[in-house]
Amino acid sequence: MWKTSECIDIPVGAEAFEGLRRARRQEPSSISAALARRSRRSLAHGDGRLFIVAADHPARASLAVRENPLAMADRYELLQRLALALSHPGVDGVLGTPDVIDDLAFLGVLENKLAVGSMNRGGLRGSVFEMDDRFTGYDVPSALAAHLDAAKVLVRIDLQDPLTVRTLERTADAVSQAARAHLPIMLEPFMCSRVGGKVVNDLSPDAVINAIAVAAGLGSSSAYSWLKLPVVDEMERVMEATTLPTLLLGGDSGGDPDHLYASWEAALALPGVQGLVVGRSLLYPDDGDVAQAVGIAASLVHGS
């Protein structure tokens, strides 16, 4: 039903990984040098739509894919999957924490791709302090120093948890700093609560609309703010809640990738939706074919 394009498989194997380990051990400055010298591009490029592959899950102790609790634990396999995805011309960039961005830059797979830095990963999955989404990754100064193209912040809002207000305050400060530095910043807001001790995101349309209202108002300027939103019911009404450029979260196929792709296709046609940010559902697809999954998503975003 959807068109695919073949990825050009960039060889990232044992020799490249040995060079990466050697650089980390003997020449750590070469890591930052690789980030500084990579070829860059703007967000507003080509058709103006974006397809970003997300890989910031591990830093929040979120390694599971479907029934496998440690699917993303093998860093070398993750990097190979990311290199394959990034080799596709329809993939515009990657979202990651500093360790992932550093690895990819040194391996040379971020040339002319966007590098989006993940900022607050402190609310570890399943922890008693999960709602304390502290900034433990990039901050605005370090994102600028690393020559990143954008930043991303998780904004989880639990009205029953006092730690939420600290997240909102720190996020507002980050948005203000990013605006002053002309650095695009992607806000990923959720209304959530604890159910049986587990943090659960409320994906009802009204909850997403409320989360948008809170996130869009953070900081001293919204000029450089973007939204990163889940695909939920009544997306037309959801997108009427904001003028901010919006990227869609990939979500989980739930065993039915065709249904997932169809939901993306419908949402991508809405005003204000600029593209996709997808991680595990494409990097670890049900059938194991990363190239095909990435090709389908790229065709949905860019139409070719």
Instruction: State residue 10's pLDDT score.
Output: 54
**What does the block give as tokens for 242?**
């904001």
Instruction: State residue 255's pLDDT score.
Output: 66
- State the Cα–Cα distance between residues 251 and 229, nearest whole angstrom: 10
> Is the confidence at residue 295, as pLDDT, over 80?
yes
Query: In Å, how far from its chain's centre is CA 10?
Result: 22
Which amino acid appears at position 216 of this protein? A
Query: Taking CA 252 as the corner, what is the angle to CA 197 and CA 134, rounded to the nearest 5 degrees?
Result: 50
Instruction: State residue 5's pLDDT score.
Output: 44
Instruction: State residue 9's pLDDT score.
Output: 52
CB 135, CB 174: distance < 8 Å: yes
Q: What is the mean pLDDT of the chain?
A: 93
Count the Cβ atoms, other than its own, within 10 Å of residue 1: 7
> Is the confidence at residue 75, as pLDDT, over 90?
yes
30-302 classified as CATH 3.40.50.10490: no
Instruction: State residue 11's pLDDT score.
Output: 57
Question: Residues near 71 by Cβ (< 8 Å), separated by ≥ 6?
Answer: 63, 64, 65, 280, 284
Instruction: State residue 181's pLDDT score.
Output: 98
- State the Cα–Cα distance between residues 280 and 153, nearest whole angstrom: 18
Model pLDDT for residues 131-182, shown as the tens digit of each residue: 999 999 999 999 999 999 999 999 999 999 998 999 999 999 999 999 999 9
Where do the DSSP E strands lie in 169-251?
Answer: 185-195, 198-201, 225-229, 246-249
Model pLDDT for residues 32-51, shown as the tens digit of each residue: 999 999 999 988 888 999 99
**What does the block give as tokens for 86?**
């990034």
- State the Cα–Cα distance between residues 258 and 262, nearest whole angstrom: 6
Mean pLDDT across 122-126? 95
Instruction: State residue 1's pLDDT score.
Output: 42
Model pLDDT for residues 86-111, shown as the tens digit of each residue: 999 999 999 999 999 999 999 999 99
pLDDT over 90, % of the chain? 87
> Is the confidence at residue 4, as pLDDT, over 70?
no
- State the Cα–Cα distance between residues 180 and 297, nearest whole angstrom: 33
CA distances from 81 to 71, 75, 141, 262, 297 (A): 12, 10, 29, 24, 15
Domain ranges of the chain: 30-302
Mean pLDDT across 184-199? 96
